[in-house]
Chains A and B, each alone.
Chain A
Amino acid sequence: MTTTDEIDSTVFEEAVTSTDPKVLAKVWGFGGMTSVLLGAIAGLLVGFERLDLTSADLLGSADEVFQFWSAHRVALVLLGVLPALMTLATTVVPRQCGANTLIFPRAAALACWTWLVGAVLTIVGFLADGGLGTPGAGGQRQATALTLIGLLLAIAGLLTATVCVVTTIISGRSTGTGLRDLPFTSWTTLVSATIWGGMLPVLAANIVLTYVDLRGRSAVRFGAEDAIWEQLSWMFTHPAVYVLALPVLGIALDVLSATTGTTQANRDVLLVATAAFGFLSFGAYAQPFFDTPGTPVMEEALYVVMAFAIVPVALVILGGVADTLRRGASNLGTRPPAETVCALLSVMLIVAGTAVGALRVIAPLDLLGTSVTGAQFTLVVGGAVLGVGAGFQHWGDDLVGGPGARPGMNLLGGLALAGGVVLIGATDLISGLLGLSDFTGVDLATAGYPGSGVDGLNIVSIVGSLALVGGLVIWQASGILHLTAAKKASSV
């Protein structure tokens, strides 16, 4: 009863009882990337609905469109990119630190399974007509409550895993490895984890507040169905969304350094820049739901200054990446590895995302409520997904325990994904400049003005969404093939 290795375990028992970070990383990785795929499919369905904004042809009602639209963002952030990053944080980071394993491995296992249970409950809540409220209050209250509980569990799992990772980085390092000597993936994970540890509890508090009010006789304010999303939306926009990008910048720096065979120049500058990027990602303070009358937080000076300040910081990191490429380009040959291409594209997308974020807060342009917000989200989160993929490709053999990578498929998937993100981001940006709302609903009144050209752009956006889903499917297939090949190799 104590441990299952006392008796002969089945494969299933071995999988669910393991405390080996490599086994759990498969749950984080495949679970996270599957959520990313589901989120992309939800985005695609909303995109199809946007093609004809005069009626709800595909999803039934404006409330359903909203549910899928919010599911798209939740699935990408809390159920997708963050858990996928945990894959690398729980396996690659301990090794980079010189630790023999992750500290608190059983707590890490608890974190992984708690996140999975939470993710499943969240998805069930969305599918059962719940989600994070609806503008027309047409959702099922019980299913909405289930979604909130699911998110709480997912956050609890992510926070517990964060504690294990930070503890490993701090107290599990080998002799002679100071914090300043850490590889960039570990360093940016430490910085990101500090910010996650500050932001996720605030998000959990928001959810508890919402849940308690929702479960009362009638919602007073926080749990009103049309107010839930507004209360939680800060997690899915500037500046909080950047915290997904930070570990990816570290992954990109390490991947490029390894594939070009060069050491990073100006290392201390990059350590400071990545730390500054992390600080500027702290977004828990920017909650529009709690605006002081007369001073909306998104128009306050701090919010605007942070949006602009992060651009030069991101450019410094891009400079570091470019410098590494310049010095090591000759080592890449004529066909650079897939992970190098994906890592480079991810950094460029993130930098583009920060530029769009700065554009969004320029008051005279009045873009805060427009689809420019969606463009920034797509570019930053798309860049993060691409960067996580680059990490999976780079450390893939270690993660799945054997050879069998499919570089061609990885490159094809990465290019499709990057192309899709660029198309969606660019069309959302232009649509936003033309006046399209971030959430369009299903009526022309919120979709800009007639003849604005938004309909044509929506078709381009659909093409982008298809490319994004296609790229993710290719990556999933590549991952499964790699895993199968590794299993075969280990059995031989």
Chain B
Amino acid sequence: MLTTGFKLWFGFFVGAVLAAVFAGYTSGATETGPLSLGWKGGVGNHVSYTILVMGAGVLALLGLVAVAFRDADAKAQADFLGLDEAPPAQAVVGNSLWPVFGALGLGAVGVGLVVHPAIFVIGLCLLGAVAVEWTMTNWSEKVSDDASVNADARENLMRPIEIPVLAAAGVGVLVVAVSRILLTSSVTGAVVVATVIGLVIFVLALWISRRPELPRNTVRGVLFVGCLAVLVFGIVAAVSGEREFHHKGGGEHHDDTHDHGTDH
């Protein structure tokens, strides 16, 4: 018996083929062109014809798959698996960071294509990391039936890689951001900024260390806001550009970012 899915998609396939042939003949095709996919003559409006024929091909494939797998009905699945009842098609999965980071990576790749190659590369790195992490997460969920055992399996494998890599990346980003802020400030301003940032970090760390009862979320919030502030100021500073550097003994001015030792 023909399934409903087959009827739907095969019907669409027939419609698309008829539409392609009709479009061909009514837009200047030769007698045999539309019937022979352009092999024996012109097909008229080739864009319309090609899109409709390609669509027809995909729809035919969908129809054939639908009828071959009996519309993937639960009963057909159970019969195929030799069970009385088909298992749920999808197990409920827990929360995951990777989709949102994947989207951010795609966004960075897109923005990087338009704005700057460095952002493009950062996006690619992010996508690569997400691909690895997502794969490992999925692998670990199939290790056993016990979620905690699965989580341990993943932790044992990935933590020795994640922690050093994330720490190095985090420190690197913060160092670059702070260096941009210092290079944008005036000579005296840079000293003031460095002193203030150092003092703020010291005082906050002291304050947190004296209050072990502080909720974990508060500590994480403070760290998040602090890192975000340094990052935002760093980006703003990078966009503003560095201060002007002067060479000793000359009136020449230029923005030499590698000549930090000679500024005064």
Contact = CB atoms under 8 A, between A and B. Distances in A.
B181 interface: no
Interface stretch (B100-108, B203-211, B251-259): B100-108
Contact of A109 (B85, B100, B107): B100
Interface string B205-246: 000000000001100110000000000000000000000000
B28 A294 contact: yes
A149 B114 CA distance: 8
A170 B115 CA distance: 41
**Interface core residue of B5, B89, B162 (most chain A CB under 10 Å):** B89
Interface in A91-127: 99-107, 109-110, 112-114, 116-118, 121
A117 B103 contact: yes
**Interface core residue of B3, B71, B134, B158 (most chain A CB under 10 Å):** B71
Given A121-B110, A142-B115, A175-B85, A194 B12 contact: yes
Interface string A10-22: 1001101111000
Contact of A279 (B12, B22, B100): B12
Contact of B113 (A149, A170, A292): A149
A174 B74 contact: yes
Interface residues of A, number: 76
Interface string B129-172: 00001100100100000000001001100110010000000000
A188 to B, nearest CB: 12
A449 interface: no
Given A16-B100, A156-B106, A297-B45, A302 B19 contact: yes
Given A114-B102, A117-B104, A287-B47, A300 B115 contact: no
Interface stretch (A60-68, A177-185, A219-227, A320-328): A177-185
Interface stretch (A1-9, A363-371, A413-421): A1-9
A18 B95 contact: yes
A121 B106 CA distance: 12
Contacts of B99: 17, 19, 106-107, 109-110, 112-113
Contact of B96 (A19, A170, A171): A19
B111 interface: yes
Nearest to A170: B72
B51 A202 contact: yes
B94 interface: yes
A146 B119 CA distance: 14
A300 B103 contact: no
A105 B94 CA distance: 9
A175 B137 contact: no
Contact of B88 (A10, A100, A177, A286): A100
B90 A105 contact: yes
Contacts of B66: 170
B62 interface: yes
B216 A8 contact: yes
Contact of A286 (B48, B58, B103, B104): B48
Contact of A191 (B8, B22, B51, B151): B8
B103 A116 contact: yes
A173 interface: yes
A284 B50 CA distance: 11
Contacts of A285: 19, 23, 47-49, 51-52
B33 interface: no
A102 B28 CA distance: 47
Interface in A311-345: none
**Interface core residue of B51, B58, B133, B159 (most chain A CB under 10 Å):** B51
Contact of B133 (A1, A118, A156, A173): A1
B98 to A, nearest CB: 7
Contact of B92 (A101, A104, A145, A179): A101
Main secondary structure of the interface of B (DSSP, over half): helix
Interface in B37-64: 44-49, 51-52, 55, 58-59, 62
B100 A17 contact: yes
Given A116-B103, A191-B8, A297-B45, A198 B90 contact: no
**Interface core residue of B71, B86, B95 (most chain A CB under 10 Å):** B95
Contacts of A31: none
A51 interface: no
B46 A179 contact: no
A477 interface: no
B110 to A, nearest CB: 4
Given A106-B99, A285-B51, A300-B26, A275 B104 contact: no
B95 A14 contact: yes
A5 B96 CA distance: 8
Contact of A2 (B9, B16, B115, B140): B140
Contact of B28 (A176, A194, A286, A292): A292
A105 to B, nearest CB: 6
A110 B102 contact: yes
A180 B73 CA distance: 11
B114 A145 contact: yes
Interface string A146-176: 1001101100110000000000101111111
Nearest to B148: A6
A332 to B, nearest CB: 32
Contacts of B220: 10
A142 B114 CA distance: 6
Given A2-B137, A105-B90, A17 B72 contact: no
Contacts of A308: none
B45 A292 contact: yes
Contacts of B151: 2-3, 6
**Interface core residue of A110, A177, A190, A202 (most chain B CB under 10 Å):** A110
Contacts of A291: 45
B4 A179 contact: yes
Contact of B95 (A3, A99, A146, A178): A3
Given A194-B9, A302-B26, A170 B95 contact: no
Contacts of A145: 113-114
A82 B106 CA distance: 21
Q: Which 5 A-B pairs have the closest CB atoms?
A: A113-B103, A109-B99, A301-B26, A117-B107, A179-B4
9 contacts: A10-B217, A14-B95, A19-B93, A100-B88, A106-B134, A114-B102, A179-B71, A194-B62, A285-B47
Given A3-B96, A106-B99, A178-B73, 20 more contacts: A1-B97, A3-B94, A3-B97, A19-B94, A100-B88, A106-B98, A113-B99, A114-B103, A114-B106, A145-B114, A149-B111, A149-B113, A153-B106, A157-B103, A177-B74, A194-B62, A285-B47, A285-B49, A287-B47, A302-B26
